[in-house]
Every structure is written in structure tokens, then in C-alpha cells.
Chains A and B, each alone.
Chain A
């Protein structure tokens, strides 16, 4: 059945487009923003900490 062959090609093409979109976006973001900003996230900067501090959890 030709239908399945078309579907296979469609799957390849859609996958290609999605991956291309991701790649283009990633590259443009890496160019547009400073690397320092992109990797600036820090672990533990979190509401749970405020909560613990507020409730005086640390003795």
C-alpha cells in the first residue's frame, strides 16, 4: 500500500523539520545571549529555602 510509504516519508520529513527547528533556535539563542547568563542558574535558589528559614527549621 502506497499509503504507508507516504507516511514513512512524512515521518522522516517532520522529524527533520522538528530537529532543524530545535537546532536553529539553540544556535540563535547561544549567539544572542551571553554564555555567562545562559549558565547562570544555581542549584538551591529555591522557595524551600525561604520556607525553612522562615519557619526557623535550622537550629
Chain B
């Protein structure tokens, strides 16, 4: 059947299915992040020593608690698929929204590429262990991305239900490792008193380690992206997000505790799969298998969530014509942003095949960081333009404006950390966003319908 062509007279519209519950929100948020506990966080140990990494874990934990609180409040009033992108559109303005949309798409697509590479590398490692050296990871990288894209294409409910199961397994694997390390008898397996050293680079090393401390939590803010598909979003998203950040704080602490009690910091700082190595040192083969599967599942869950979020951000930008409108389509049967999903497949694969993993990851982290900086500014404007008594919020975060200011301060520290480690990359990534912004103002904005940018039933903002 064909719909009438005149959109103005035809009220028939398709929208996404509202099928998700808080567990799906939790699975989306934690699923994206948890891979960071299996690998990646430990580079902060190389930057600042074991204690430096612990300080980074807590400081960045504070950063993300601010992010979760701020996000929950704004999202409990702005429920749309674009998440922070939609917030930016309503609170700061179109150019900021365009940038936030790009932060989201870049951060998630690049993280997805890194995740798929992990799966490929793990397959090569298994092949090598069984006597087949030099297995190319490429077919497995492509298979991971293709399968997850297919899953995403077929519907959000199945996608995030799968994510819930594999994320839960990965989380339980961390718990199993903790129990396997016999934490009640320190000195038996865990040798903290012999392995923990002073700060090897002093406090500058601690600051530098903040950059990789992001890995413990990077991506938890992606829960907002599900807002258009969650039942009673105003309650489910704060619940799933804050549950997610608590899960991650637990997982991060356990991870640090076990890993630093088993490995000298110099080794830990460069390990590719630190938790799997920890299981190997403990020497329990079934624990090794559990951690191997856990690592694999964590990487898959992360890539899966990333496809979900990146596609929704890209879709929302298409729907508003910030990007070509062609991407703003929804599948009439599966109700997914199917063209955005398809478009991002070759991009993710090409990122994975560039061989620039360092660059890609830095791009991902920095895009996330730019997004957090935005959130802080966003929150201050939100409270000023619509004070608490003007619009009803499903959740109100305490101690405003302290979380927003703390977030801004911590972001500045992480920029400095990125400067210490990847100064040139930082500048070239900033150049990307600056050129893209100029392009948006000079070319794309002419296609955007002004009044349509404000869709929430809020009153006129104060001061405008």
C-alpha cells in the first residue's frame, strides 16, 4: 500500500516501537562500556602507576556520576531518539546540536570498530593457541559488524535483549574472577603489599592516566539514545542509567583490585587482555575459559550497543535535515532507522581496517569528552531557561550547579591528559569539528526548517 503523497494532509506516520524496559536501558549503557574493564582501562596504569589508575578510576567515576545525574534530569523531560543531540537542539541551538550529533556518531562508530577488532584479534589468538599461526582477523571483524548490524536492523527489542544476556554474563565473569582470586585471604593469591608501588611519575602521571580512566565508563551516557523506544522513558531512563553507573563503579573497583594484586604495574600497563591474564595467573582453566568468553561477549555487546546508538544519532540528524533527509527513514516492519544502520556498516569496517587503532580510539574518547563538556554547559542553561517550577521533570538531580561545575573542571583535566599523550591527534580532531561546523553553517543549515527544531511542549525559554 502506498500512503498519500501530501504529508500535510496525511496524518499517517510511522514511528519506532515502544518496547523497551529499564533492563534494556541498563544493557545498552553497561553493554557499551563493560569491554573497557576487560581491556583498555589498564593503559592508565602505564601512565601513572597502579595507584594513579585507582585515583583515575575514582575521579573519572565522579565525572560520570555527574554525567549520569545531569543526563537523567534532562532526559526525563526530553524523550527523543537523538538523546543529547535533541537536548542540544532545544537548549543551546542548531550548530551545537549538529556538533553533538557528530560527537555521538563518531564516538560510537569508532568504538564499534575497535570492539570488532578485539573480536578478530581474540579469534587469531585462539587459532595461534591451537597451533594455527597468522590467522587473519579480518573475516571475523566483518562478521561481527555484519551480524550485529543485521540484528539491529531486525528490531531493537531482540538487539537489546541479546545485549542484556551477554552483558550480564560478562559482568558475572568479573565477579567470578574476583571470587576466584580469593579476596578474603590477601597474600594467598593477591599480593598487593608486594606489587603496589609508589606513583612512578608523580602526580603528573596521575593526571595523564585520567585519559584512559575514561575506559571504565565511556559510553554509559548512550542510554538516552533509547528514549524514543522505551516505555515510560521519563522513569526508565534515569533508572537504567543510574543502575548502570553503579554496576560500572562496582565492576571498575573489582577489576582494579584483582588486576593490581596479580600483575606488576609495568606489565599491566601494556597488557592486551588484562583480565584474561589475571585468570591465567590464578591458573584455574575453567576461570580462564569464563574470562575468555566474558571478554568476547563484552566486546560484542559493546559493538552492538554502539551500532544502536550511532544509528539513532545519525537518523535523528537526517530527520532534522542536518544530514541528508534520506537517512531519516524508519523501516515500516521492523521500525528501526534502517538506512542509518546500513550507512554506518562500511564506515565501521573501514575504521577497523585503517590500522590506526590508537588514532581511532583517541577520536572516540575525545568525541565523548567534547560531549560531556557540552552537557555541563547544557545543564546550566537548562536550569536558567526553564527553572524547576516551569516544567515538570521526572527526575531532579541534587546540588545544582555543583555537578555541572565539577563536570566542567574534570573535563578540563582530561583535555590536559589527552594533550600530554596525544597532542597532535587532539588538534587534528578539533580541526575536524571546526571545519564540520563551518560547513554546517555555510551549507547544511539552509535545508533546515527553523521552527521544526523545537518539538517539546515547553513554554518559551526565559531570555528569548
Contacts and interface: CB of A to CB of B under 8 A. Distances in A.
Asked whether any CB of A lies within 8 Å of a CB of B in the complex, the reply is: yes
Interface of A: 1, 3-4, 8-9, 11-12, 14-16, 18-19, 21-23, 25-26, 29-30, 33-49, 51-53, 55, 57-59
Given A19-B146, A19-B345, A38-B330, A58 B391 contact: yes
Nearest to B234: A48
Contacts of B37: none
Contact of B79 (A34, A38, A46): A46
Contacts of B328: 39, 41
Given A1-B131, A4-B135, A8-B135, A39 B319 contact: yes
A1 B44 CA distance: 38
B80 A33 contact: no
Contacts of A55: 392
A1 B339 CA distance: 40
7 contacts: A19-B149, A22-B153, A39-B325, A39-B328, A48-B79, A52-B391, A57-B391
Interface stretch (B13-21, B52-60, B245-253): B13-21
A39 B143 CA distance: 29
Given A21-B150, A26-B342, A34-B3, A40 B458 contact: no
A36 B7 contact: yes
A51 B14 CA distance: 21
A18 B15 contact: no
Given A33-B3, A46-B228, A12 B13 contact: no
A18 B150 contact: yes
Given A11-B140, A47-B18, A59-B390, A38 B332 contact: yes
B455 A44 contact: yes
Contacts of B5: 34, 36
A15 B391 CA distance: 48
A37 B5 CA distance: 8
A52 to B, nearest CB: 6
A15 B120 CA distance: 14
Nearest to A19: B146
B392 A52 contact: yes
Given A12-B139, A18-B147, A52-B77, 8 more contacts: A4-B135, A9-B139, A18-B146, A36-B7, A40-B14, A43-B86, A48-B79, A52-B391
Interface residues of B, number: 65
Contact of A29 (B80, B81, B331): B331
A1 B332 contact: no
A27 B338 CA distance: 11
Given A1-B132, A36-B7, A57-B391, A42 B13 contact: yes
Contacts of B150: 18-19, 21-22
B383 to A, nearest CB: 16
A15 B82 contact: no
B354 interface: no
Contacts of A30: 329
A3 B455 CA distance: 56
Nearest to B136: A8
With a 10 A CB-CB cut-off, give which of A3, A41, A55 has the most chain B CB atoms: A41
B454 to A, nearest CB: 9
A11 B135 CA distance: 13
Given A43-B81, A43-B455, A37 B332 contact: yes
Interface in B297-322: 316, 318-320
Given A39-B325, A40-B13, A47-B18, A22 B342 contact: yes
B349 to A, nearest CB: 10
B232 A22 contact: no
B79 A45 contact: no
A33 B1 CA distance: 7
Contact of B458 (A8, A16, A51, A58): A58
Interface centre among A14, A21, A40, A45 (most CB of B within 10 A): A40
Contacts of B130: 1, 4
Q: Give me the 5 closest cross-chain CB pairs, A-B, nearest first.
A: A57-B392, A44-B455, A11-B139, A37-B3, A38-B329
A35 to B, nearest CB: 8
Contacts of B149: 18-19, 22
B114 to A, nearest CB: 18
A46 B455 CA distance: 10
A11 B391 CA distance: 52
Contacts of B135: 4, 8
B156 interface: no
Highest count of chain A CB atoms <10 Å: which of B10, B329, B339: B329
B85 to A, nearest CB: 10
A1 to B, nearest CB: 5
B3 A46 contact: no
